[in-house]
């Protein structure tokens, strides 16, 4: 009988410390912070394997945060950040999975549904609008307008500048594009946004080449 009681006590303790129980005790904000930290670390990482590992870990943390608080715009954005980076792990956005793309955009749209003034989400939305073909919901004019609005509200936004610069370049506005990209690089370096510096430097170099060819 004593052995049976001891077994029941051990079983109760095991149930108490299962991952689901630990997960339920975690703070949504800690999960959100962790997910965003992984998203930034993945952007900085040089090796593809390391990048993917960070984004996948961030995705798990983001999913847990959303499960704990579905009405948290920051939780949905943290999940979107990692899902989006996984889809562009080799560079520019690559739509290799329709389901993955839909899930990513669903998290972005949910973020804006909960927080219409979420500037980072608005910047990401504008980026998609200028990059995607119309058949996938792209709209260059609407996207550029949204990115300019973000810059008006948040002049320090690096991502909005880079996305607008790329869109201007694709439309033949090389000088304006180079100016925006150069500002983005300066801001990223000044703010020590190491996750954006490499991309900004790459865009500036490419735009300088394009501008030279155009002249």
What's the rounded Cα separation, in Å, for the pair 72 and 163? 26
Minimal CA–CA distance to 132: which of 95, 157, 168?
A: 95
| pLDDT of res. 80 | 97
What's the rounded Cα separation, in Å, for the pair 91 and 88? 5
Q: pLDDT of the chain along its 215 residues, tens only?
A: 444 454 444 444 443 444 444 444 578 999 999 999 999 999 999 899 999 999 999 999 999 999 999 999 999 999 999 999 998 886 666 556 677 888 999 999 999 999 999 999 999 999 999 998 888 888 999 999 999 999 999 999 999 999 999 999 988 898 899 999 999 999 999 999 988 898 899 999 988 887 677 66
Query: How many whole angstroms from its chain centre is CA 10?
Result: 43
Residue 85 near residue 42 (C-beta atoms within 8 A): yes
DSSP assignments along the chain, one per residue: -HHHHHHHHHHHHHHHTSHHHHHHHS-HHHHHHHHHHHHHHHHH--SHHHHHHHHHHHHHHHHHHHHH-TT-HHHHHHHHHHHHHHHTTTSS-----HHHHHHHHHHHHHHHHH-TT-HHHHHHHHHHHHHS-GGGT--HHHHHHHHHHHHHH-TT-HHHHHHHHHHHHHTT-HHHHHHHHHHHHHHHHHTT-TTTHHHHHHHHHHHHHHHHHH-
| pLDDT of res. 20 | 44
| pLDDT of res. 133 | 85
| pLDDT of res. 93 | 60
Model pTM?
0.81
């Amino acid at each position: 009988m004593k052995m049976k009681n001891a077994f029941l006590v051990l079983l109760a303790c095991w149930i108490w410390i299962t991952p689901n129980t630990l997960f339920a005790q975690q703070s949504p904000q800690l999960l959100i912070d962790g997910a965003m930290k992984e998203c930034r670390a993945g952007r900085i990482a040089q090796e593809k394997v390391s990048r993917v590992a960070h984004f996948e870990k961030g995705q798990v943390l983001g999913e847990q945060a959303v499960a704990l608080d579905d009405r948290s715009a920051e939780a949905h954005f943290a999940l979107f950040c990692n899902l989006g980076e996984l889809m562009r792990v080799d560079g520019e956005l690559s739509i290799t999975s329709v389901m993955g793309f839909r899930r990513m955009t669903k998290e972005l749209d949910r973020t804006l549904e909960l927080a219409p003034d979420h500037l980072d989400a608005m910047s990401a939305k504008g980026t998609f609008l200028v990059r995607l073909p119309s058949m996938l919901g792209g709209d260059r004019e609407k996207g550029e307008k949204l990115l300019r609005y973000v810059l008006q509200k948040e002049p320090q936004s690096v991502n909005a500048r880079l996305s607008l610069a790329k869109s201007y370049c694709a439309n033949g506005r090389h000088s304006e594009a180079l100016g925006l990209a150069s500002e983005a690089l300066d801001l990223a370096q000044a703010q020590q946004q190491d996750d954006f510096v490499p991309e900004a430097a790459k865009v500036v170099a490419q735009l300088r080449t394009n501008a030279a060819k155009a002249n």
